[in-house]
Amino acid sequence: MFIKSLTITSGPKVIREIEFHKGLNLIVDESENQITGNNVGKTTVLKLVDFCLGADKNNIYVDPETKRNEYKLVKDFLIENKILITLVLTSDLDKGTEDIVIERNFLSSKKEGIRRINGQQILAENFETELGKVLFPDHLEDKPTFRQIISHNIRYKDENINNTLKTLDKYTSDAEYETLYLFLFGCEFTKGNSKQEILSKLKQEDTYKSRLEKNQTKTAYETALALINNDIETLNKEKSSFNLNENFEKDLDKLNQVKYEVNKLSSSIGKLNIRKNLIKETETELKSSKSDIDLRQLEIIYEQATTKVKTIQKTFSDLVTFHNTMVEEKVKFITKELPTLEKSLAENNSSLKQLLAEEKKLVTAISKSDSFEELEKVIGKLTEKYRKKGEFENIIQQLTEVESNIKDFNKQLNEIDTELFSDSFEQVVKTQLHKFNKYFASISNEFYGEQYAVKYDIVPNTKGQRLYKFSAFNANMSSGKKQGEISCFDLAYTLFADEENIPCLHFLLNDKKELMHDNQLVKIAEFVNKNNIQFVASILKDKLPDEINKEEYFVVKLSQNDKLFRI
């Protein structure tokens, strides 16, 4: 696959359209009067291609050094203007082959977020998988992932720029690199994904086992459990030797029931007393409201009032009598419940007295043995021993399960390793590397007069599990040029993959190529132009050698006055 074009649009407005060709494609600045060509968007072009191939959108506007600071101007521009990035790939730039069109924007909502492949909207969690199906249709395994496979094609991050083979993040395990390079070098091994899963599960089980054995090992817990069982046996014998009445258990149950009834009855008596006291208080208050004032004095006043108000027909004496009668009726009504309450109280108190007597009798019967308190102590010790026993048995059971899991996983791993490290498979690895190294050594010798190669070693990891570990080295045993080694590797891999019919991307994205010597840049340009490879590089224009400082190689020219997004 080659890059045909990269387009930046906002609705119908085309902000920038970049068309690519075979061979050398340069992204340069053309700042005038020695104004710096940095921060104009050269590297961002590479990032946008990577973004369309599944990279995180934060790469575009987050500072790669701090991982926190955002270029707010760029972020706001991309979101507010609903910027759409369209990447068009094709299998042949010379022929009219069917294109693969990939579209992404920077909006997060499901409604407005765009992730389309050939016009079909893809869910975020499926986007990378679908890209893999389109670009590597014959790769059916989960590992290596699509992003891992193309990691050496896109080099703008520090780990890609400075490492030939270790192109993934720093947390990537050697097992993942093993699976990746066995795939890239055409060593057909379909169990790489299974091996990684097993190694991951083994790591989890080992971590869990370490936590369980944080205080003691399994054998220590087993030894402690045996001692606890001995202690329990001794305490049970001691318990059975106590001289208690033969109805101890029965009396103890009965005592508990009596205590329950006493508590229940005491609560009932308390409530009845509260009710009785409330009635008594109300009775006292009502009786205090009866009138016993001087009727003669009030009668004189009342007579004076009746001489002026002829309609008053009741005497004041009548009113007082009526009031007092009403009060007496209220008292009768309120206090009519008292006899019932007092009867209930008397009955309950009688029952309570009987229960208390029975409780006293049972307590005496239960505690008639002088060793009752000692028995409680023994029972307390037994309870604690059984608690410890349960705790230790649980830990031992968990450790047994973990050890069984580890044993099963190691068995599965050994079965895979039997195939992976067999003489026949190792010979396949040697053969494939020999084929690759023919290209790698030839290209590096042409560029630098030195021969680079990739070797493998079978090494144990920290857990003692065997792995193929691949590394690049200078066959002349001298110190090589890292930037040159990386470019030679990428070019060699493309030619090797074509010979072996291994699907691969035919474009190589590179940042900071000004770090290379002029002579090597010229040789790369000549090499890719004649070998059906697309080499896309961002570089400061004033660092270009004259041989390639030509319009035919430039695909986009940026400056401080004409930055990539034109903001």
pLDDT in tens, 450-505: 899 999 999 987 777 888 999 998 866 544 467 778 889 999 999 999 999 999 99
pLDDT, residue 38, reads 66
**CB-CB contact of 117 with 101 (8 Å):** yes
Q: Is residue 79 predicted with pLDDT exceeding 80?
A: yes
Q: Residue 66: what pLDDT? A: 67
For 48-57, 511-520, 546-555, which range has the lowest pLDDT when averaged over its residues? 511-520
pLDDT of residue 480: 46
pLDDT at 422: 85
Q: How confident is the model at residue 370 (pLDDT cuts 50, 70, 90)?
A: very low
The whole-number average pLDDT for the span 69-91 is: 93
The pLDDT score that the predictor gives to residue 165 is 92
Confidence category of residue 369, pLDDT binned at 50, 70, 90: low
Judged by average pLDDT, the poorest of 282-291, 448-457, 462-471, 539-548 is 282-291
Report the share of the chain in percent with pLDDT over 70: 85
Identify residue 265 by its one-letter amino acid code: L
d(CA 109, CA 106): 9
Q: Binning pLDDT at 50, 70 and 90, where does residue 382 land?
A: confident
Of the candidates 357, 351, 364, 363, the residue with the CA atom closest to the CA atom of residue 267: 351
Element (H, E) at 147: helix 146-149
- 110-124, 209-223, 260-274: the lowest-pLDDT one: 260-274
Indicate the pLDDT class of residue 430, thresholds 50, 70 and 90. Answer: very high
Q: Which residues is 18 bridged to in the sheet?
A: 6
Mean pLDDT rounded to a whole number for the chain: 84
pLDDT of residue 295: 58
Angle subtended at Cα 296 by Cα 291 and Cα 301, rounded to the nearest 5 degrees: 95
Question: SS3 for 454?
Answer: strand
Q: Residue 53 — very low, low, confident or very high, per pLDDT cuts 50/70/90?
A: very high
- How much is the pLDDT for 3? 96
Length of the chain: 567
Give the pLDDT confidence of 157-183 residue by residue, as tens digits: 888 888 899 999 888 888 889 989 999
User: Given pLDDT bands bounded at 50, 70 and 90, which one contains residue 265?
Assistant: confident
Lowest mean pLDDT among 3-12, 90-99, 206-215, 310-319: 310-319
Q: Are strands 2-10 and 100-105 parallel, antiparallel or unpaired?
A: unpaired
Tokens of 477: 């045993």
Closest CA to 205 of 396, 400, 462: 400
Structure tokens at 324: 């007092």
89-143 confidence digits (pLDDT tens): 999 888 877 899 999 999 988 889 999 999 999 999 999 999 999 999 988 788 8
Task: Assign 263 a pLDDT band (cuts: 50, 70, 90).
Answer: confident
Instruction: Identify the band that residue 368 occupies on the pLDDT scale cut at 50, 70 and 90.
Output: low
User: In the prediction, which pLDDT does 456 show?
Assistant: 93
- 1-164+503-567: CATH topology is Rossmann fold (3.40.50)
Please state the domain extents for the chain.
1-164+503-567, 248-368
| pLDDT at residue 302 in the model | 66
Tokens representing residue 133 in the block: 């199906």
CB atoms within 10 A of CB 325: 11
Q: Write the burial class of residue 134 (CB in 10 Å: 0-12 exposed, 13-18 middle, 19+ buried).
A: middle
CA-closest candidate to residue 535, choices 72, 153, 116, 6: 153
Widest CA span in the chain: 143
Per-residue model confidence (pLDDT) at position 314: 62
Higher pLDDT, 234 or 364: 234
Of 76-80, 115-119, 419-423, minimum mean pLDDT range: 419-423
Residue-wise pLDDT for 308-345, tens only, equals 665 555 666 676 676 677 767 766 766 777 788 788 88
d(CA 44, CA 156): 9
Q: How distant is the alpha carbon of residue 310 from its chain centre?
A: 95
Question: When comparing pLDDT for 445 and 312, which is higher?
Answer: 445
Percentage of the chain beyond pLDDT 90 is: 37
